[in-house]
Structures are given as structure tokens and as C-alpha cells.
Amino acid sequence: MTGKLILVRHGETEGNVAKILDTRLPGLPLTERGVAQAKTFGANLSVPPRQLFSSEALRARQTGGYIADATGVKLEPLEGLQEVQLGDLEGLNTQDAHETFQDVYHAWHFGDLSVRVPGGETGMEVLDRYVPTLERLRDTYLTDAESGDVILVSHGAAMRLVARELAGIPRLFAANNHLDNTETIELLPGANGEWECTRWGRYLPPFAEAAWPTGDDPMG
């Protein structure tokens, strides 16, 4: 039996607390609460992962480092897995900036991946840099006879978009349900390169076609 790919949103950061749109590498560090969240996540794993990866962002590497300390599995940062790049909105915490990003992000979830964040990325550019790494991890670690999960510490907006595209999550559900710090999206590899989502934060399948928006901290 093979394992799952477990995407983990990093622990709380100074940017999360201040509602700052923080996407450029290396980014802001974890808060004390974020450190505690990362330590708790690692301590609560009943079985160490087969492999442990993170994006290159400081907050993801810090979160992954505490998971590594708890499990004894070496952390390896990977290129191309950073958060959606927000260009002109970088470093802002205004309501207008958040609403501008949310308008673009919802357009991506509802099928228009060509819309660009002002000065930043399109949805297709996010997928083009992110998805090939997941496929490589799948081919390397999740298709052989050896069992064990692969953990990847990443970022909320990118995780949601990628998981929706790969696993066919209902669009409204994916657009409206953000992930709290250290919550996970869990993907099980299936036949013919397909993925099945077995967890989205606090939710298990089947995922509702309609869902009310949660209080959204979009960045991570």
C-alpha cells in the first residue's frame, strides 16, 4: 500500500497576524504561536513520514524544521513551491489589497486561470511551477511498493488552487474554504495519474458543491 501526499500549511507568521500579503521569498518568520503549532503537528504524527519537504519560504522551512526535529526525518526545501506571488500587492494589509487578490483568486477557481494579480502571477503560472514537482514526488515516492506518506510544507492559497485542479474539488468549496495554520490537504494517488482528496482541513469527503465562505486569511 502506497502513502499519501500531505500538503501542510505552515505555522502562524507575523504576516498572518498583521494581515500582510507576504509572498516574496524569503518572507516573514513564524510567531511563537506558529512555532508551537509546528511542534504540535510533528509530535502528533503517529508515524514519521517517508520524506519531508518544504517550500523555500522561511516560514515553511521553519515549520518543516520543527517537524523534522519531532520525527527524525530530514527536511529538504524545494524550488517553485512558494506562495502565489502578489507583485504590486506585496507587503500591503489594506482591505482594497485583500479584495483585489480575492477577486483574482476566485476567478482562478471558477475557471479563468489567465487572470493576473497586478504585477504578479496568473493562476496558470502558479500551476506550471508547482504541479510538476508534485508529479515528480508522486513518481519517486508514491508509486512503488514501499509505504509511507510524503509531507510537503507549503502555503494556503497555492495549496488550495493546486489541489482543486488535481483532485477535481468542487469549485465553490475550494474557493470558500481556507486552511488554518498547520491544517492539511491530503492527496491519495490513484490510477492514470489521478489524485483523490481524502482531507481538506477539517473536512472529509464528500465535499459539498456549495459552501459558505469561511473567515479567510488567504495568504500563507
pLDDT digits 0-9 by tens, 84-127: 999 999 999 999 999 999 999 999 999 999 999 999 999 999 99
Instruction: Give the tens place of pLDDT for each residue, 23-69.
Output: 999 999 999 999 999 999 999 999 999 999 999 999 999 999 999 99
Domain spanning 5-84+130-200: CATH 3.40.50.1240:
yes
Per the structure block, which three cell numbers stand in for 209? 458543491
| Neighbour count for residue 74 (Cβ, 10 Å) | 10
| Cα within 13 Å of Cα(165), Cβ side | 21
d(CA 215, CA 199): 19
| Catalytic sites, residue numbers | 10, 83
- Helix (H) / strand (E) element for 144: namely none
Tell me phi and psi for residue 152, to 5 degrees: -130, 115
Q: Indicate the domain borders of the chain.
A: 5-84+130-200
- Supply the pTM of this predicted model: 0.94
pLDDT at 218 over 90: no
